[in-house]
Amino acid sequence: MTEKIVADLVIHALNAAVLFPTPYRGRGTPVGWSVVEQRDMSIASHDGHIVWIGPACEMTDQIRVTTDCAFINGQGRIAIPGFVDSHTHLVYAGDRSDEFEMRVRGKTYLEIMAANGGILRSVKAIRASSEDELFHESAQRLWKMIKSGVTTIEIKSGYGLDLENEIKMLRVIRRLANELPVRVIPTFMGAHVIPAERQSDSDAFVTELCEIWIPEIAKSCLASFNDVFTENKAFNVAQSLRILEAGKRHGLKPKIHADEISVIGGVDLAVEVGATSADHLLKTDDAGITRLANSGVIPTLLPGTSTFLMESHHAPARAMIEAGLPVAIASDHNPGSCQFFGASIIQTLAMLQLRMSAAEALIAATLHAAFALDLGAEIGAIEVGRSTDIVLIDANSYRLLPYRAGDSLIETVISRGIPVYSRE
């Protein structure tokens, strides 16, 4: 007689389970996945990992539950992987709502900057806030993300712009990871913009970043990734290369903000340094798409940002998908250029602005976004062996999530095998 599989969590009799078949392992291009709906299915988990998926009628024959097993009735619910928000600036202080109104009235970025707005305004707010104040404000935002179905989130520093305040931000991110029940991935982004007080000699600032800040961040084990904003108004390609290579020497994996405003070589640099992801890509052209193909760099598109900024042009998602690129999407939630909250609205915008299908948007925000954090073999899909990061939706199809924009259909959020949110 075959020994039964032990489970400490069971989701029983789902009306429909969205599963991702897995033809992919490794770093290359994770394409070829599809969304499959199967009726009357059950999912069993043990120690935070999926151990069995099968017809509900077979569960009692194959599963032995622990005495403290948690049972979740899945009838009338659909299960999808927990959303992976692979690009956010969730730790910040205050708001920039007046800038939003200025933009709506036609003010340009430079005009807003001249009125003491923009990123440097957020820098002042971070520097004036205590670590506890930042934590409590950011924790409220993260709980909103969790309620939207996010089970893994990347959070960047980058509003400190001096070593003391960058470390303060990263400590807040680590505290969020320790105290809230989802997976939090920290990214160091000291190379967000040139600080106001250092703009007279940007190369000296880059040298300080490479020789002092990055070694200190790496020694403190406060970050997994090192990100840089490669743009005319921020860091040029040569400076970005120095910063990313310095991070690699100290064990920080490279990411890059590229092609958001202009094409200056950010995509080529991402491929050259083996970046885990290249993000924004609003202006990426056919040559950039060809460069990204089979590179292992995950193109991460941020439709919330181009919408919030009222751009007439959005990232070329269709061309990327047709070229076989594993397109990811993320929220880019931040105080200035994107205040959209939660996963479902980003699904909606991916369909409206990027012309993705519902299935493409779902995979982009789960599996492909997991690869954008170098976690593609662990999260992002409902499959035996993966982390039990599952969201139950009060609907009969995953297509309703982006379709019913603004209507929360999230019933239950399970993170690493533990129910962390229930609408009831």
Render pLDDT for 387-403 as a digit per residue (tens, 0 to 9): 999 999 999 999 999 99
253-258 sheet: strands from edge to edge: 83-85, 150-156, 183-191, 225-229, 253-258, 277-280, 298-301, 328-329
pLDDT at 26: 42
The two tokens of residue 171 are 């400590």
> Quick one: which H or E segment has residue 139?
helix 131-147
- In a domain, residue 236? The reply is yes
CA dihedral angle for residue 230, residue 112, residue 306, residue 286, rounded to 10 degrees: -40
Q: Are residues 320 and 251 in the same domain?
A: yes
Mark which of 371, 391, 410 sits at the end of a domain.
371
> Quick one: which H or E segment has residue 419?
strand 418-422
What predicted TM-score, i.e. pTM, was given to this entire model? Answer: 0.96
Instruction: Please say if the pLDDT value at position 33 is more than 90.
Output: no
- Min mean pLDDT across 110-119, 288-297, 353-362, 412-421 is at 110-119
CA 269 to chain centre: 21
SS3 (DSSP) at 62: helix
The two tokens of residue 311 are 């751009």
Q: Are residues 246 and 139 in the same domain?
A: yes
The answer to whether the beta carbons of residues 420 and 413 sit under 8 Å apart is yes
Query: In terms of C-beta density within 10 A (0-12 exposed, 13-18 middle, 19 or more buried), how is residue 273 classed?
Result: buried
Q: Are residues 162 and 15 in the same domain?
A: no
Q: Are residues 336 and 291 in the same domain?
A: yes
- In a domain, residue 260? The reply is yes
CATH label of the domain that carries residue 56: 2.30.40.10
Number of domains in the chain: 2
- In a domain, residue 44? The reply is yes
Q: Are residues 95 and 55 in the same domain?
A: no
Q: Are residues 310 and 337 in the same domain?
A: yes
Instruction: Please say if the pLDDT value at position 176 is more than 80.
Output: yes
Q: How many CB atoms lie within 10 A of CB 63?
A: 20
The answer to whether the beta carbons of residues 161 and 93 sit under 8 Å apart is no
> Quick one: which H or E segment has residue 39?
none
d(CA 51, CA 35): 20
Q: Are residues 335 and 261 in the same domain?
A: yes
Q: What is the mean pLDDT of residues 410-420?
A: 98
Mean pLDDT (the chain, rounded): 94
CATH label of the domain that carries residue 229: 3.20.20.140
SS3 (DSSP) at 324: coil
Residue type, 138: S
Q: Are residues 219 and 235 in the same domain?
A: yes
Q: Are residues 272 and 334 in the same domain?
A: yes
Q: Are residues 334 and 409 in the same domain?
A: no
pLDDT tier, 21 (very low <50, low <70, confident <90, very high otherwise): low
- In a domain, residue 340? The reply is yes
The two tokens of residue 348 are 């909606």
- In a domain, residue 279? The reply is yes
pLDDT at 31: 62
Q: Is the dihedral of CA 114, 119, 124, 129 positive or negative?
A: positive
d(CA 313, CA 128): 36
DSSP alpha helices (H): ranges in 210-334? 214-220, 237-249, 266-273, 286-292, 303-308, 317-322
- In a domain, residue 376? The reply is no
Mark which of 333, 348, 371 sits at the end of a domain.
371
Residue 54: domain span: 5-81+382-422
Q: Specify the DSSP class assigned to residue 380.
A: S
d(CA 345, CA 83): 12
The answer to whether the beta carbons of residues 26 and 63 sit under 8 Å apart is no
Q: Are residues 212 and 186 in the same domain?
A: yes
Q: Are residues 48 and 155 in the same domain?
A: no
d(CA 43, CA 54): 7
pLDDT tier, 34 (very low <50, low <70, confident <90, very high otherwise): confident
- In a domain, residue 313? The reply is yes
Q: What is the mean pLDDT of residues 309-321?
A: 95
Instruction: Please say if the pLDDT value at position 28 is more than 50.
Output: no
CA dihedral angle for residue 399, residue 403, residue 408, residue 410, rounded to 10 degrees: 10
Q: What is the mean pLDDT of residues 50-55?
A: 96
CA dihedral angle for residue 227, residue 231, residue 233, residue 236, rounded to 10 degrees: 90
Over residues 221-235, the pLDDT tens digits come to: 999 999 999 999 899
pLDDT at 37: 86
- In a domain, residue 377? The reply is no
DSSP assignment of 214-231: HHHHHHHT--SEEEEEBS
